[in-house]
Amino acid sequence: MDSQLEAEAFKRIYPEEYFQRFLSEGTRPDGRPLGRARSTTIGFGAVSTADGSALVKIGSTTLLAGIKLEVMTPTAEAPDAGKIAATFEMPPLCSPDARPERRLEETSVVVQQVMNAIESAGLVNTKELLISTGKAAWVAYLDIYCLDADGSLLDAALLAAVAAFADLTLPPVRVNPEGHVLPVLSGAQGGNLRENGDASSEVVTVERRKLTLGAMPWAATIGLYKGHLIVDPTAEEEALLESTVTTILDEAGRLISLFKPGGITAVTTALIQDCVELTRHRARELKQILEESSQEDEDEGDESQ
């Protein structure tokens, strides 16, 4: 009891010293070795009203991503493509630093970097979001909500976005000659899904389908502190770190993003190579988790039917 209290007091008064003593023993305050990420879970279809959604937890960092589809008229520059619009919200409940009147600065960075990673990796081919050339296309509103911000937000946000796209189903629709998009009535969902050619030849029906996803980007945030490389830092650790490097790789090992916003550590070529190596390992881990989770999701779906 007493020593517990003392450790707590020591942590409050000398947070750096407290952290350093752990690091010198090759471990971290939460018991992880420096190179290990927190346990990660993905839950598909967490929001029933969304067209695609996923709940991602990395340790206690919790993010909910949902995709809602709406019909838009394609732009003149790209008449054969839909688009993706992303938002990232950090409501006051996610962190003690968040306030309703003040946007946390992470908000802007995370949403930009998630979109950058999705575009750079070519995860979604926006041409697949087309309904009818020049007339109608889907706009996918990707909303990511942070429910608990406990560090490495970008990693979790990107994973949630990727999982939500994997979960996304484009609903069946009919397009009439004026280019208006009408939903297919649930009663007609049996055999009439193909083009109903005879009665009104101009009406085109687009079937329910999943997106064919391109290369999936996998992110790992690595904290730099006095020569140590700390994978997947918590919020507590992030407050003490000298700088962070977020590396994003795809399956083929291509570099999608290497994001280091300032920080006082002198980053050398060797250090960048170390970060890439650690991210490779984490990317394999994340890929496996996503595959296993989607397998479980399908199994459950089969059982319920």
Partner 1 sequence: MSSQGSLRKDGRTFNQLRGMVCDRGLLHRADGSAKWSQDGTSVLVGVYGPKNMPPKREDPEKAVLEVLWKPKSGIQGPEEREAEIILRRTLEAVVLAPLFPRAGISVVVQVIHDDGSLLSCAINAACAALVDAGIPMTGLLASVTIALAKRDDGAGGGAHLQLDPTREEQDGAQATVCLALETTPKAATSNGSVEGEAVVTSTTRGAMAIEEYLEALDRCRMASRTINAFARLSLDKAQRRLELPGT
Q: What is the contact surface with partner 1 in residues (CB under 8 A)?
A: 105, 108-109, 111-113, 116, 119-122, 215, 243, 245, 250, 253-269, 272-273, 276
Tokens describing residue 288: 């496996």
Distance CA 164, CA 9 (A): 42
Nearer to partner 1, 134 or 261 (CB): 261
Quick one: CA torsion of 287, 160, 52, 251, rounded to 10 degrees?
-30
- Which of 150, 155, 159 is closest to 239 using CA atoms? 150
Comparing CB distances to partner 1, the nearer of 24 and 87 is: 87
Nearer to partner 1, 229 or 276 (CB): 276
* Residue-by-residue DSSP string for 175-224: E-TTS-EEEPPGGGGTTTTS--TTT-TT-EEE--EE----PPEEEEEEEE
Q: Which residue, 228 or 260, is less far from partner 1 as judged by CB? A: 260
Q: Which is nearer to partner 1, 126 or 132 (CB)?
A: 126
Minimum CB–partner distance for residue 200 and partner 1 (Å) = 42
* Nearer of residues 229 and 272 to partner 1, judged by Cβ: 272
Shortest distance (Å) from residue 35 CB to partner 1: 19
Over its C-alpha atoms, the chain yields an Rg (Å, rounded) of 23
Task: List the structure tokens of 48.
Answer: 């029933």
3-state secondary structure of 15: helix
Query: How would DSSP label each residue in 86-138?
Result: EEEE--GGG-TT-BTTB--HHHHHHHHHHHHHHHHHT-S-GGGGEEETTTEEE
3-class state of residue 170 by DSSP: strand
Residue carrying structure tokens 């020569």: 227
Q: Which is nearer to partner 1, 111 or 136 (CB)?
A: 111
Nearest approach, Cβ of 191 to partner 1 (angstroms)?
43
Least distance from partner 1 to the Cβ atom of residue 116, Å: 6
Cβ at position 86, least distance to partner 1 in Å: 9
